[in-house]
């Protein structure tokens, strides 16, 4: 209807938060013709979309299949729970800390060593976009020499998934990546089956529950998902966290002085500026939500970015405040999270604790290595993106 904000417009992309407020207030359930999707924006509705199993991920198939193959994101019911149980143990807090903390630390250190002597850096280009991919590649036990290829594949997959304007070159590159990735990975997966080691890939190929295991193709698809799901999200979270802290110097100072505040600062970043703004589901039957009916089989978009700013849920939701008392940092990385950035329910982010470890290590090391960290003169941080949002660049200066 007239006056209803258009999610696919340039105004929206520049600043969605005002539009989200209008949607929450005036159109809690909206049909969007261009997206061919219903949309909900209030916290309680978004939460229900994630938790109520009437909403499935069946409609992910057409989007994810062409680049990844079949991943757990596309599965539901028992098929999903078995697959999830096969992969989840490797991402538990204790497992991560014992096995992978050194890998996380060395990846952060190597990147920071590349610019710490210089006094200037782009924290997005030189740190955020490289760090999570490096961690995943090392965790899987793949060859460090192939980092550049992973970076290229990752960029191509992300572009494919965000290709709203259907640019044919982007589509072709995404489809090519699926082939190249399979040619690279399948022989490695087979070799790891023959000769398992101590890495995540070996854990995946040997995982077994009630006699069920993952095929070579399953493992390859999951690794491809890890690159995209674990790379782009954490990348954007790091950029947003630093952009927000640098714009709130008293909160930055508080974190610098007391590093136990890092999880809290990360949780508030995830609420205030979530990397993933929209998630889609498909109701298996007609559902009443947001004051209307969503028919079985249609597409329903849950606006994470809008739910996380809902004044019905948070006091002063448009203020970035790591000390707010309506967001519990102790729960923020578990299925009891009181923000929507990792979704909730059965597809709740498998990598939430890994992301937390990466952020803790990355922020600690950056603050140690970069005294007097501040934004470069003339740079005003700005979010970009629609389905996913983050800083395109973050030029900073510091005492070398
Ligand atoms: C699922 C966000 C980091 C792996 C999800 C979902 C969201 C999300 C919103 C749910 C998608 C849906 O239900 O449709 C984030 C954010 C991250 C992050 C904001 C960082 C700040 C990671 C990392 C990894 C990872 C580091 C692993 C390396 C996954 C996987 C799923 C998932 C495998 C699918 C779970 C399932 O279908 O059961 N994530 N993620 N994520 N995430 Fe993350």
In this predicted structure, what is the pLDDT of residue 3?
Answer: 66
In this predicted structure, what is the pLDDT of residue 1?
Answer: 46
In this predicted structure, what is the pLDDT of residue 95?
Answer: 87
Q: Is the CB of 230 under 6 A from ligand 1?
A: yes
Domain membership of residue 314 (yes or no) is yes
Tell me whether residue 50 is exposed, middle or buried, using C-beta atoms within 10 angstroms of its C-beta: 0 to 12, 13 to 18, 19 or more.
buried
Give residue-wise pLDDT tens across range 343-356.
999 999 999 999 99
Residue 316 and residue 253: Cα distance in Å, rounded? Answer: 22
Residue 127 and residue 107: Cα distance in Å, rounded? Answer: 10
Boundaries of domain holding 322: 10-397
Query: What CATH number should be reported for the domain holding residue 152?
Result: 1.10.630.10
Q: Would the pLDDT of 125 be above 50?
A: yes
Give residue-wise pLDDT tens across range 355-369.
999 999 999 999 999
Distance in angstroms between the alpha carbons of the first and the last residue of the chain? 55
Domain membership of residue 354 (yes or no) is yes
Domain membership of residue 3 (yes or no) is no
Percent residues over pLDDT 70 in the chain: 99
> Which of 228, 262, 349, 388 is the best mutation target for the ligand 1 pocket, counting ligand atoms within 8 Å of the beta carbon and taking the most?
349
Domain membership of residue 151 (yes or no) is yes
Q: Is the CB of 200 under 6 A from ligand 1?
A: no
Give residue-wise pLDDT tens across range 160-192.
887 877 899 999 999 999 999 999 999 999 999
Atom of ligand 1 nearest to the CA of 237: 21
Give residue-wise pLDDT tens across range 217-255.
999 999 999 988 888 899 999 999 999 999 999 999 999
Domain membership of residue 191 (yes or no) is yes
Give residue-wise pLDDT tens across range 324-349.
999 999 999 999 999 999 999 999 99
Residue 140 and residue 383: Cα distance in Å, rounded? Answer: 31
Arithmetic mean of pLDDT, 90-97:
90
User: What's the structural domain count of the chain?
Assistant: 1
Q: Which amino acid residue places its CA nearest to atom 5 of ligand 1?
A: 349
Residue 347 neighbours by CB under 8 Å, 6+ apart: 50, 57, 72, 73, 80
Q: Would the pLDDT of 372 be above 50?
A: yes
Domain membership of residue 283 (yes or no) is yes
> Which of 79, 229, 307 is the best mutation target for the ligand 1 pocket, counting ligand atoms within 8 Å of the beta carbon and taking the most?
229
pTM exceeding the 0.90 threshold for the entire prediction:
yes
Q: Provide the pLDDT confidence category of residue 10 given band limits of 50, 70 and 90.
A: confident
Residue 42 and residue 21: Cα distance in Å, rounded? Answer: 9
Q: Is the CB of 207 under 6 A from ligand 1?
A: no
Mean pLDDT, rounded, of the chain: 94
Q: Which amino acid residue places its CA nearest to atom 2 of ligand 1?
A: 342
Tell me whether residue 137 is exposed, middle or buried, using C-beta atoms within 10 angstroms of its C-beta: 0 to 12, 13 to 18, 19 or more.
buried
Domain membership of residue 5 (yes or no) is no
Q: Would the pLDDT of 208 be above 90?
A: yes
Q: Would the pLDDT of 2 be above 60?
A: no
In this predicted structure, what is the pLDDT of residue 244?
Answer: 98
Domain membership of residue 1 (yes or no) is no
Q: Which amino acid residue places its CA nearest to atom 32 of ligand 1?
A: 349
């Amino acid at each position: 209807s007239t006056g209803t904000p258009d999610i696919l417009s340039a105004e929206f992309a520049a600043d969605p938060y005002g539009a989200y407020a209008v949607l929450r207030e005036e159109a809690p359930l909206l049909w969007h013709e261009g997206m061919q999707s219903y949309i909900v924006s209030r916290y309680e509705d978004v939460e229900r979309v994630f938790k109520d199993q009437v909403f499935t991920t069946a409609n992910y198939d057409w989007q994810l299949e062409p680049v990844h193959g079949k991943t757990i994101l596309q599965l539901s019911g028992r098929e999903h729970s078995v697959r999830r149980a096969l992969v989840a143990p490797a991402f538990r807090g204790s497992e991560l800390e014992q096995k992978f903390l050194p890998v996380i630390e060395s990846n952060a250190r190597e990147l920071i060593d590349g610019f710490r002597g210089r006094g200037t850096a782009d924290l997005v280009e030189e740190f955020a976009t490289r760090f999570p991919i490096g961690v995943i590649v090392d965790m899987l036990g793949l060859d460090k020499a192939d980092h550049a290829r992973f970076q290229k594949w990752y960029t191509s997959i992300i572009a494919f998934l965000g290709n709203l304007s259907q640019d044919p070159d982007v589509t072709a590159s995404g489809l090519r990546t699926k082939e190249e990735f399979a040619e690279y990975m399948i022989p490695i997966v087979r070799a790891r089956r023959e000769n398992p080691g101590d890495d995540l890939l070996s854990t995946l190929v040997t995982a077994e529950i009630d006699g069920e295991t993952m095929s070579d193709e399953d493992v390859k698809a999951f690794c491809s998902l890890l690159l995209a799901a674990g790379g782009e999200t954490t990348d954007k979270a790091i950029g947003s966290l630093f952009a927000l802290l640098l714009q709130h110097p008293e909160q930055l100072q508080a974190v610098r002085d007391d590093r136990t505040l890092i999880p809290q600062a990360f949780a508030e970043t995830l609420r205030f500026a979530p990397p993933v703004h929209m998630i889609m589901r498909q109701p298996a039957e007609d559902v009443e939500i947001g004051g209307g009916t969503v028919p079985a089989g249609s597409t329903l978009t849950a606006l994470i970015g809008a739910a996380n700013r809902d004044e019905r849920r948070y006091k002063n939701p448009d203020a970035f405040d790591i000390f707010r008392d309506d967001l519990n940092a102790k729960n923020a990385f578990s299925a009891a999270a009181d923000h929507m950035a990792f979704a909730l329910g059965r597809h709740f982010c498998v990598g939430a604790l890994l992301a937390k470890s990466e952020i803790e290590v990355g922020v600690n090391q950056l603050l140690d290595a970069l005294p007097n960290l501040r934004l470069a003169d003339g740079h005003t941080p700005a979010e970009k993106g629609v389905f996913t949002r983050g800083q395109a660049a973050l030029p900073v200066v510091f005492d070398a």
